[in-house]
Each structure stands twice: as C-alpha cells, then as structure tokens.
Structure 1
Amino acid sequence: MTILDIVKYPDPVLEQKCETVTVFDKRLIRLLSNMYDTMLEADGVGLAAPQIGIAKRIAIVDIDDKHGKIELINPEIVDEEGEQVGPEGCLSFPDLYGEVKRADYVKVRAQNRKGKWYELEARGFLARAIQHEIDHLNGVLFTSKVLRYFEPDELEVEG
C-alpha cells in the first residue's frame, strides 16, 4: 500500500485536460490500487489522477454503497437527466465546501483496468461523485460551479 501525495490548488495540473490512457498494464493496476488507498486514507469518496499529479484520464469512486470501488478509465458521460443541488468538497481544496448543481442521473461509458469498455448508470450521490471526478479529468474544478460556499459545520450529517 502506497499513500500518494494529493495535489492542492493552485497546482496547474488540476486545470489541465487529461490525456487518454492507451496502455493497460501492471503499472496502471498499481496506480489504481495506490489511488484507492490514498482516497481512503484521505477519507474521500473519489480521486482523479490529476489530484496526484498525473494528467491521465483515470478516476476512482467509492461512496460505500452496493457498487463498491468503481474504476473509471477514459470515462465519458453519454447521457444525463434531472437536476440535484448538494454539498461538495474536494481533497485538493481542504476545508472548502460549496453547493453545486449537477445532473441527478448519468450514464457513463468507461474502460476497466484491462481496457474493456463498460457502461454504468448512477443516480443521486453516486452520480454527483462521478461527475465531480470526470470534471477533474477535463480540468474543471468544483469551485467553478459552486452556487454558495459554506463552513464544514454547516454540512448536514446523514444518519
């Protein structure tokens, strides 16, 4: 297990459009594992490669639901519907939170660690997390979409 350093804003890699992954090898598998461990260690629900300084179209999401760990390589949103507004934070912006409007439903086409294409449908919080990570791969930061900022103690605790 290797915990990687999380890149913080204003590092320029965070606003770069990432390159397509073309090589699916043991290095990619190791990177995915290290990204997952890093995300868990940082108490996050998603992590994109630029957040560890790598401008490649790789992201992982795990909101601790039935889907488990989702590895997204070269992901693209192929359909979206509805609207939701909810709180977001980002591991690259410690202690910064804001309300962001996103689609409530997304269908994503991506590759797995072996390069095989698959589709995934997501609603609600999972759809939000996936959109946030795909934005990272396009150099788009959540701060550009915030409707209003708030303090961490204003976050509603689900329970």
Structure 2
Amino acid sequence: MSDILRTYPDSILKIRAREVKDFRGVGELTERMLKVMLLNNGIGLAANQIGVSSQVFVIKLEEEDESIRIVNPVIVEASGEDGLEEGCLSVPNTYVEIIRSGSLLIRGFDPDGREVEHKLEGLKARVAQHEMDHLNGIMIVDYLPKREKLRFMIEYEELMKEGKTISESKKGDARDL
C-alpha cells in the first residue's frame, strides 16, 4: 500500500475493487486514506485511489465533521436527482456535470467489521456515489460525452509526450472528490 495518489490512466482505477473479507488492517487503511485525501484537499477517497483494490471509501467534508468510513458499501435506497459539476483527485482539474441521487441509504461495514447504515443527503450522497463509482472502476471521464472524452484523451496523450502528467499541468481545488 502506498500513500501516493493514483491518477488517470492508472489501471487500478479502471477495475472493480475486491470485496473485503478480512477486516484486519482496514482501520489503518482508512486512516491512511483520510491522510492522503486531506493532503490533496479532497472530500472523499476510494481505496483504489491509493493503489489498494478493496471496497473501502472515506468521506470528510468539513474539518469539524466526523469522517465516514464504509467497507463493502451497497446502496439500498436512492431518491431525487441533482446535477452538479464534479472534480476528482485522480483526474486533476477535469470537471464533469453528473446527475446523481440527492439522497441515499447505504449499508456496509465499519473498519472493524460491524454492520453500519448511513442515510446521506446532498453533497455527502454525491461524494458517496462518486467514491462507489471508483470502487466499480468508473471515473468521471467516463461520464463525458464521446467527443469530449476523445478530446480529453488527446490532451492527455500530448501531456505524456511532453513528459508531464495532468496533475503536473493543473492544480486541483476543493471541488475535487
């Protein structure tokens, strides 16, 4: 496991993360994830964003908020729709309008393996869906219309030829999930 944030097109970001069956070390994993997320000014992070193929994500919107740590998450209920531009720590300075449910009921486990249920609204619901996309190998660029995605990929290829990455050419901001 690494404290290095994985960025597009790292292959671990494109595959479905594995279900957690052994909870030993999951608490430490979520602590490391929160550290990486906060160091990068994020508000959510999936385990595969630091190179760990495990169904785990963390959310922390505000400094005074308690963090949400969910293992093997499943959306039980979803309602309402809301469109908003999203960014992503793994695809710096790329923003995509995505329609998501405004309210969720998620079941899963805490880092100690105890069953938990979270009712999430608004931004927390959006962040949870964004992180669950990561756990399923879906990135925000996958929501781009075909032409825009092609343009993104061409820009990325040009940066690679120059020996740069997207993160070196652009700085993220607090909208990055």
TM exceeding 0.5:
yes
Q: Indicate the residue corresponding to 1:119 in structure 2.
A: 117
Structure having the higher helix fraction is 2
Q: Matches of 2:135 and 2:27 in 1, distance apart?
A: 18
Structure 2 residue runs without a partner (length 5+): 150-169
Q: Indicate the residue corresponding to 1:61 in structure 2.
A: 59
Secondary structure of residue in 2 paired with 1:36 = helix
Structure 1 residue runs without a partner (length 5+): none
Q: How does 1:56-135 map to 2 (within 5 A)?
A: 56-64=54-62, 68-135=66-133
Answer whether contact 1:89 1:95 (CA < 8 A) is retained.
yes
Q: Matches of 1:116 and 1:12 in 2, distance apart?
A: 31
Quote how far apart the aligned CAs of 1:135 are.
0.8
Larger Rg: 2
Quote how far apart the aligned CAs of 1:20 are.
0.6
Q: Matches of 1:84 and 1:65 in 2, distance apart?
A: 25
Runs of 4+ in 1 over 3 A off after TM superposition: 146-149
The percentage of counterpart residues that share the same residue type is 32
TM-score (norm 2): 0.78
TM-score (norm 1): 0.86
Q: Matches of 2:55 and 2:31 in 1, distance apart?
A: 15
What is the root-mean-square deviation in Å for CA atoms of aligned residues? 2.3
Q: Indicate the residue corresponding to 1:138 in structure 2.
A: 136
Q: Matches of 1:31 and 1:70 in 2, distance apart?
A: 13
Secondary structure of residue in 2 paired with 1:135 = helix
| 1:62 aligned partner, one-letter code | K
| 1:9 aligned partner, one-letter code | Y
